Amino acid sequence: MRTIEWVPEKNIVKMIDQRVLPHEESWLEFDDSREVAEAIRGMVIRGAPAIGVAAAFGMVLAAQQSRASTHDDLLRDLRAAHDVLYAARPTAVNLRWGLERMMQCASHLTTETLDETRARLLREAQRIADEDVQINQTMGAHGARLLPRQANVLHHCNTGGLATVDWGTALGVIRSAHEQGKGIHVFVDETRPRLQGARLTAWELMQWGVPMTLIADNAAGYYMLNGQVDAVLVGADRIAANGDTVNKIGTYKLAATAKDSNIPFYVVAPTSTIDLRTLTGKEIPIEERDPREVTHPDDDPRGIAPEGVQVGNPAFDITPHRLITAIITEYGPIYPPFDETLLPVVERAAADRRAGRVVSPEDVLHE
């Protein structure tokens, strides 16, 4: 199931509303780039790869909405849409990556008619979406190799098909290993305050038939210390040039506990999540979200805290590179020292993209 896709008959983008899962499967349709930005901000769609694709389709809508009569006027309207979409959630680098890729596409079409430019932008957005699925499946194949035949895996937040176009990053590894016949059991962190683990990851794993146990976030250390966890798998919203990784709040605590318990800690993310322009995690902006997410979980009208309490609600934290065993990309696992090993992989990805090549799971089988 694709979580986001273009509907050519209506010239709209539709996406599953993740806010109402697992109780309801509802699809929303958008014909305005500003509505897409609001959907990203309001977490109708979430997950770094998914919002990068959503932003790309948002740019397609902006091109269709534009009343420009010249190419320069169209570029001006696209830049305005770019700024609105980028401001929706600035931490996840895939958002910027998708927007920049669409702007580059438009900038190179100076000899095309405006209608041809709009059509090319749509093809580019669809290409980004299709590549996401293939890249995720390839990461899954690479990551599955690192898991033993029988494994208890701890997972945080949601990184499955819902966080991407389809298949998933860290959960994609789990899905691939399960489909290979490995005996995988997953400890699913509930992931406060928005409960993406309880609402989304548990739902996806049950759809796939993967054995799982939902746990409170604070129980993770208990299972690790007792030797019941063989590996920790998480996704990423941005990876700095030195390997520092920004991911859902609570990830750093898991990485530190895994290190102390001698458990491998794997980050699973496509090369588009690696931001070589950012040297360390300290330079990455951390989104501060609505206090009501903490005081009124799952929109409970009564809330759980005294009225007027002061709240801190950072959406992400930074996991230092020294705590990460490997970063699993579509080109396989990358090991420390990350300040030396990330650059060649990002350069390889850029070269493949220029040549129109995309890695595939079949490539992994022939290695």
Percent of the chain with pLDDT over 90: 89
Percent of the chain with pLDDT over 70: 99
Judged against a pLDDT cut of 80, whether residue 194 lies above it is answered with yes
Judged against a pLDDT cut of 80, whether residue 45 lies above it is answered with yes
Q: In Å, how far from its chain's centre is CA 78?
A: 24
Q: Give me the pLDDT at residue 363, please.
A: 81
Mean pLDDT of 118-131: 95
Amino acid identity, position 155:
H
Q: How many helices (H) and strands (E) does the chain have?
A: 13, 14
| CATH number of this structure's domain 4-135, picked from the four choices 1.20.120.420, 3.40.50.300, 1.10.630.10, 2.40.50.140 | 1.20.120.420
Among candidates 92, 93, 125, 84, which has minimal Cα distance to 106? Answer: 125
Report whether the peptide linkage leading into residue 193 is cis, meaning its omega lies within 30 degrees of zero: yes
Structure token digits, residue 195: 């409960």
| CATH number of this structure's domain 141-365, picked from the four choices 3.40.50.300, 3.20.20.70, 3.40.50.10470, 3.40.1350.10 | 3.40.50.10470
3-state secondary structure of 302: coil
HEC assignment per residue over 86-121: HCCCCCCHHHHHHHHHHHHHHHCCCCCCHHHHHHHH
Active site residue 237: yes
Among candidates 165, 74, 172, which has minimal Cα distance to 127? Answer: 165
Nearby residues of 183 by Cβ (< 8 Å), 6 or more positions away: 149, 150, 151
Tokens 């920004």 correspond to: 246
Widest CA span of the chain, in angstroms? 66
Is 0.85 topped by the overall pTM? yes
Tokens 């690192």 correspond to: 146
Judged against a pLDDT cut of 70, whether residue 225 lies above it is answered with yes
The phi and psi torsions of 90 (rounded to 5 degrees) equal -75, -10
Angle (CA) 140-143-144 rounded to 5° is 80
Mean pLDDT of 253-264: 98
Domain boundaries, the chain: 4-135, 141-365
Decide: 245 and 319 in contact? Cβ < 8 Å.
yes
Which letter does DSSP use for residue 198 in this model? I
Q: Which of 166, 237, 244, 275 is catalytic?
A: 237
What whole-number distance in Å separates Cα of residue 272 and Cα of residue 136? Answer: 12
Sheet holding 12-16, edge to edge: 4-7, 12-16, 27-30
Sheet holding 245-248, edge to edge: 274-275, 238-240, 245-248, 316-319
Q: How confident is the model at residue 299 (pLDDT cuts 50, 70, 90)?
A: confident
Q: How confident is the model at residue 2 (pLDDT cuts 50, 70, 90)?
A: very high
Average pLDDT of the chain, as a whole number: 95
Report whether the peptide linkage leading into residue 344 is cis, meaning its omega lies within 30 degrees of zero: no
Among candidates 31, 39, 266, which has minimal Cα distance to 154? Answer: 266
What whole-number distance in Å separates Cα of residue 315 and Cα of residue 115? Answer: 40
